[in-house]
């Protein structure tokens, strides 16, 4: 188990190293010079050279990459005019646009994204597993057909349309909820949930559809297995067969999917964040890409990488915990 963990973390670090290398290579190849953009109009060659030096883009690319890695692991110093400023580890540099440390930017945005992801995930798991289980148990009856129809609809409707409709109905027409703004959970948990409710629902629509479909298929598959027949042959009541046996088998694939989805929502729920005006990581990324704010783009991408790799590892451990046939070694 410990050996597995060590090897797994080693592998994860290797993946992240590869990712950073790839990212750096890509941005070096990008045709635009960030220094010219930062320097702005009426830039003199002397001023440009200064900016380049300050941004650290005048070094050879290998040196730049080495500095980047050093910043990540141990922190680094940036020249700022005559003085230097220290950027503690894990340092992802300073935003070209706002001159804030990228790490701070990310930490600022992350709680929003985490709130969004966890809420949406809980909602879609509850709704998806519930609907899927009902459909699976009532195969080819009307309830199953209704769930199937909703699943298709959930897949088909784009998230911005759902979001707009929700806003229109609950904030404009009925005025049950305020227009969402982010309130930290530490400030006011109720307001936090109230404000995030609509974004959660909007995000959950598609996820719910996916989970319901998976659960339905899983339940049907497990119910057809031999050990379910054994359970029936030994007089176990149907409710117990469903809850203790069938659902257990059906939910296995959801474990992996949920972990990965959580990580994905945290960094890429751009549409939802934009529509509901939530200052999350996804929004940060879009802004940074538009402004060619390379350190921020690199930072967000690295964060995505870390989250996905971590989620995968957690998923593997969970999988081993729920399925005794899986051994981690």
Partner 1 sequence: MTALAVEDLRIRFGDTVAVDGLSFELPAGGALGIVGESGSGKSATALALLGLHTSAVVEGRISFDGLDLTTLTDRRWRDVRGARIAMVFQEPLTALSPFHTIGDQIAEVYRLHTGASRRAARERAVEVLRQVHIPDPARRAASYPHQFSGGMRQRALIAMALSCRPQLIVADEPTTALDVTVQAQILDLLDEVRETTGTSLLLISHDLGVVAGSTDRIVVMRRGVSVEHGATAAVLGAPSAAYTRELLAAVPHAKPPRTIEGAPLLRLDAVRKHFPQPRRGSWRRPEPVRAVDGVTLDVRAGETLGIVGESGTGKTTLARVMTGLLAPTAGTITLDGADITRRRGRSVQMVFQDPMSSLNPRRSIGESIADPLRLSGVRDPRTRVEDLLERVGLARTEYDRYPHQLSGGMRQRVGIARALAPRPKLIVCDEPVSSLDVTTQAQVLALLEELREEFGLTMVFVSHDLAVLRQIADRVAVLYEGRIVELGDTAEVYAQPQHPYTKELLAAVPVTDPAEARRLRALRRTIA
The residues binding partner 1 (CB under 8 A) are 3-4, 225-227, 229-237, 245, 248-249, 322-325, 329
Residue 92 and residue 59: Cα distance in Å, rounded? 17
Kindly report the three-state secondary structure assignment for every residue of 81-96: CCEEEEECCCCCCECC
Residue 202 and residue 206: Cα distance in Å, rounded? 8
Residue 146 CB, nearest approach to partner 1 (Å): 23
Q: Is 224 helix (H, G, I), strand (E, B) or coil?
A: coil
Please give the torsion angle defined by the CA atoms of residues 89, 90, 92 and 97, in that order, rounded to the nearest 10 degrees.
-70
Kindly give the interhelix angle for 142-156 and 102-137, rounded to the nearest 10 degrees. Answer: 160
CB 309 within 8 A of CB 18: no
Residue placing its CB nearer to partner 1 in the complex, 77 or 225: 225
CB 110 within 8 A of CB 283: no
Phi, psi at residue 140, to the nearest 5°? 65, 15
Given the structure tokens 């969970």, which residue do they identify?
Answer: 318
Residue 249 CB, nearest approach to partner 1 (Å): 7
Residue 320 CB, nearest approach to partner 1 (Å): 13
Residue 80 CB, nearest approach to partner 1 (Å): 49
Residue placing its CB nearer to partner 1 in the complex, 53 or 244: 244
Residue placing its CB nearer to partner 1 in the complex, 249 or 305: 249
Residue 257 CB, nearest approach to partner 1 (Å): 19
**If we measure between CA atoms, which residue out of 275, 280, 288, 250 comes closest to residue 264?**
280
Residue placing its CB nearer to partner 1 in the complex, 187 or 239: 239
Residue 248 CB, nearest approach to partner 1 (Å): 5
Residue 251 CB, nearest approach to partner 1 (Å): 11
CB 114 within 8 A of CB 200: no
Residue placing its CB nearer to partner 1 in the complex, 216 or 245: 245
Given the structure tokens 């109720």, which residue do they identify?
Answer: 190
Kindly report the three-state secondary structure assignment for every residue of 38-61: HHCCCCCHHHHHHHHHHHCCCCCH
Residue placing its CB nearer to partner 1 in the complex, 101 or 249: 249
Residue placing its CB nearer to partner 1 in the complex, 81 or 235: 235
Q: Copy the structure tokens of residue 117.
A: 């992801």
């Amino acid at each position: 188990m410990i050996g597995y963990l060590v090897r797994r973390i080693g592998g994860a670090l290797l993946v992240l190293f590869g990712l950073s290398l790839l990212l750096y290579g890509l941005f070096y190849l990008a045709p635009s010079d960030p220094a010219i953009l930062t320097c702005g109009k009426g830039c003199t060659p002397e001023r440009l050279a200064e900016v380049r030096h300050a941004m650290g883009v005048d070094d050879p690319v290998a040196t730049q990459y080495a500095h980047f890695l050093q910043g990540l692991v141990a922190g680094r110093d940036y020249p700022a005019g005559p003085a230097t400023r220290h950027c503690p580890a894990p340092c992802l540099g300073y935003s070209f646009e706002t001159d804030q440390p990228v790490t701070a930017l990310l930490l600022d945005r992350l709680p929003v994204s985490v709130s969004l992801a966890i809420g949406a995930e809980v909602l879609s798991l509850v709704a998806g597993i519930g609907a899927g289980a009902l459909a699976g148990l009532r195969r080819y009856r009307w309830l199953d057909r209704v769930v199937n129809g909703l699943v298709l609809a959930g897949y088909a409707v784009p998230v911005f349309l759902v979001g707009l409709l929700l806003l229109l109905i609950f904030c404009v027409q009925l005025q049950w909820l305020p227009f969402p703004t982010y309130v930290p959970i530490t400030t006011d948990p109720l307001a936090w949930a109230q404000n995030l409710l609509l974004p959660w629902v909007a995000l959950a629509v598609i996820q719910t559809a996916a989970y319901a479909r998976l659960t339905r298929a899983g339940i049907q598959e497990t119910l057809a297995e031999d050990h379910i027949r054994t359970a029936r042959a030994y007089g176990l009541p149907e409710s117990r067969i469903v809850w203790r046996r069938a659902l257990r088998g059906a939910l296995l694939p959801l474990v992996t999917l949920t972990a990965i989805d959580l990580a994905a929502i945290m960094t890429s729920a751009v549409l939802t964040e934009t529509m509901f005006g939530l200052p999350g990581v996804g929004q940060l990324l879009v802004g940074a890409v538009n402004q060619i704010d390379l350190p921020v783009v690199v930072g967000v991408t690295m964060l995505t990488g870390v989250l996905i790799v971590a989620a995968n590892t957690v998923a593997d451990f969970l999988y081993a915990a729920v399925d005794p046939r899986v051994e981690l070694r």
